[in-house]
Amino acid sequence: MTGSVPAIRTICCIGAGYVGGPTMAVIADRCPGIQVTVVDLNAERIAAWNDPDLSRLPVYEPGLDAVVGRCRGRNLFFSTEVEAAIAAADMVFLSVNTPTKTKGLGAGQASDLRWVEASARSVAAHARGHTIVVEKSTLPVRTAATVQAILQAAQGDATATHDQATFSVLSNPEFLAEGTAIADLEQPDRVLIGGDDPQAIEALASVYAHWVPQERILRTNLWSSELSKLTANAFLAQRISSINSIAAFCESTGAEVGEVARAIGTDSRIGPKFLQAGPGFGGSCFQKDILNLVYLCGHYGLHEVAAYWQSVVDLNTWQQHRIARLVVNNLFGTVTGKRLAVLGFAFKADTNDTREAPAIRICRDLLEEGAELAIHDPKVAPEQISRDLGSAPSASGSGLTGEGSWQVAASVEEAVRGADAALILTEWQVFRELPWADLAAQMRQPAWVFDARAVVDPEVVRSAGLRLWRVGDGRIG
């Protein structure tokens, strides 16, 4: 398209999920002159977004309730009427799910693009006039070509219900992290807009310019933008695998990974963030996006590059198995029939999200060894744990049958009662301040604390008479 920058008065976002909901709420909040409608096929989810009780929104994020409370019904709407919202929109965001394929070509690596294609086809069928289509989902590089092909086919389709629909496609990936989504959206390090239509790019930039300084709005071509999102997640995950590899080395050599992280992080070229050793990264995106990168590199014949990024995921998997193994080894080589308190199940603190949580693989390994797990997490529901572990809780325990069993504990005290060990797998604030002397009195001796998040004070734990393993801490042992 040529000419002046189109004014954006109405936005439709397809996908009222973790990204679509909060992102559109912040746009509506900061741009009172733009009407924003978030649509989804999932009627239950839309009903939850419309719930008068703001504590029952389908996504929990600090500050989200206040933002939604300010704009909902004013210029922010949640609806299942996808077609009408597309027809009314100057700009449509695609913010649908893109999970890893579970079967067929590229299973286990490639992104499943069925929801992206379906939403692009909806736009093709129902858009009116000139519509700017924005990829907000995280997508394989060159997906915009697919979206463009679907939209162009509609432009030439004489049977289409609309006339004169024209399109520009942009890439505008989202960099928010769970738990800090509103702060990340309100004060982003950068907003990235990729495209080949300068007017469309400036139209989207003008939306963000309501609250984001111009120098933080980056413009690139489509493919750089799509690839930058995968690359950002790959680099962040790579730092975690790097520090976890060094953590293991610290444990063998008497070094302490926190000290090493501080020493290298003060080098301004390296920087201090994302150097916290732990049980490996979890969450819905890091693994999915790196596997997608690996798949794409393979597709383009870049096998060494694919192997390099695959090693980031492999190290992460290894770290989780390593932790389960060292628990078994330290408990005299067997955990069959032993009660182990698992403290934390969420993939990180301040969320009830367990997608790809390290706790899942570690608990599964320990169940395989016949352990009786007592799992306590301040926010994760028992049904979720059941789904993740693929088994129901058992009240009676499995004893020496070797079968392995688990149950939920309502408190840390309940979890550790009679336990041979406590494993800290999520860095919840409460786990940093536990009364270890009192807890030790409830445990079967000799008892261990396995601190996979380096949150306990070693002196406090050891003076309570407990044995301690702390990730990356070679000073103890």
Which residues sit at the interface with ligand UGA, rule CB under 6 A? 138, 174-178, 233, 236, 240, 274-276, 278, 281-286, 347-348
Residues 25, 29, 35, 36, Cα dihedral to 10°: -10
Binders in 28-67 for ligand NAD, by CB under 6 A? 39-42, 45
Residue 114 token pair: 């069925």
Instruction: Considering the complex, state which of residue 145 and residue 441 has its C-beta at the smaller distance from ligand NAD.
Output: 145
The Cα diameter of the chain in Å comes to 79
- Nearest one of 171, 174, 127 to 151, comparing CA atoms: 127
Cα of first residue to Cα of last residue in the chain, in angstroms, is: 67
Say which entry of ligand NAD, ligand UGA, none residue 58 contacts (CB below 5 to 8 A, set by partner kind).
none
Q: Which residues pair with 406 in a beta bridge?
A: 373
Q: How many Cβ atoms sit within 10 Å of the Cβ of residue 83?
A: 13
> Min. distance of Cβ 443 from ligand UGA in angstroms?
26
Q: Is 382 helix (H, G, I), strand (E, B) or coil?
A: helix
Interaction of residue 15 with ligand NAD, rule CB under 6 A: yes
Instruction: Considering the complex, state which of residue 117 and residue 413 has its C-beta at the smaller distance from ligand NAD.
Output: 117
**Residue 470 C-alpha from the chain's centroid:** 25
Vertex 388: Cα angle to 383 and 390 (nearest 5): 90
Say which entry of ligand UGA, ligand NAD, none residue 278 contacts (CB below 5 to 8 A, set by partner kind).
ligand UGA
The Cα 159–Cα 173 span in angstroms is: 33
Active site residue 285: yes
Say which entry of ligand UGA, ligand NAD, none residue 256 contacts (CB below 5 to 8 A, set by partner kind).
none
Instruction: Considering the complex, state which of residue 154 and residue 260 has its C-beta at the smaller distance from ligand NAD.
Output: 154
> Min. distance of Cβ 149 from ligand NAD in angstroms?
17
Say which entry of ligand UGA, ligand NAD, none residue 371 contacts (CB below 5 to 8 A, set by partner kind).
none
Instruction: Considering the complex, state which of residue 29 and residue 61 has its C-beta at the smaller distance from ligand NAD.
Output: 61
Binders in 113-152 for ligand NAD, by CB under 6 A? 115, 118-119, 122, 137-138
Q: Which span sits near ligand NAD by CB under 6 A: 1-9, 12-20, 102-110, 389-397?
A: 12-20
CB 136, CB 94: distance < 8 Å: yes
The Cα 31–Cα 28 span in angstroms is: 5
CB closest to ligand NAD, residue no = 17
Instruction: Considering the complex, state which of residue 183 and residue 264 has its C-beta at the smaller distance from ligand NAD.
Output: 183
Residue 469 token pair: 């393993």
Say which entry of ligand NAD, ligand UGA, none residue 96 contacts (CB below 5 to 8 A, set by partner kind).
ligand NAD
Residues 235, 236, 237, 239, Cα dihedral to 10°: 80
Instruction: Considering the complex, state which of residue 38 and residue 425 has its C-beta at the smaller distance from ligand NAD.
Output: 38
- Nearest one of 203, 192, 194, 188 to 4, comparing CA atoms: 203
> Min. distance of Cβ 261 from ligand UGA in angstroms?
8
Say which entry of ligand UGA, ligand NAD, none residue 274 contacts (CB below 5 to 8 A, set by partner kind).
ligand UGA
Instruction: Considering the complex, state which of residue 41 and residue 326 has its C-beta at the smaller distance from ligand NAD.
Output: 41
Peptide bond into 446 cis (omega under 30): yes
List the catalytic residue out of 12, 250, 285, 297: 285
The Cα 110–Cα 90 span in angstroms is: 31
Interaction of residue 319 with ligand NAD, rule CB under 6 A: no
Say which entry of ligand UGA, ligand NAD, none residue 275 contacts (CB below 5 to 8 A, set by partner kind).
ligand UGA
> Min. distance of Cβ 240 from ligand UGA in angstroms?
5
CB 192, CB 172: distance < 8 Å: yes
By DSSP bridging, strand 166-171 and strand 130-135 are parallel
- Of 18, 60, 286, 309, which one interacts with ligand NAD (CB under 6 A)? 18
Residue 323 token pair: 């932790």
Q: Which span sits near ligand NAD by CB under 6 A: 92-100, 338-346, 389-397, 454-462?
A: 92-100
Interaction of residue 356 with ligand NAD, rule CB under 6 A: no
Single-letter amino acid, residue 363: C
Active site members: 285
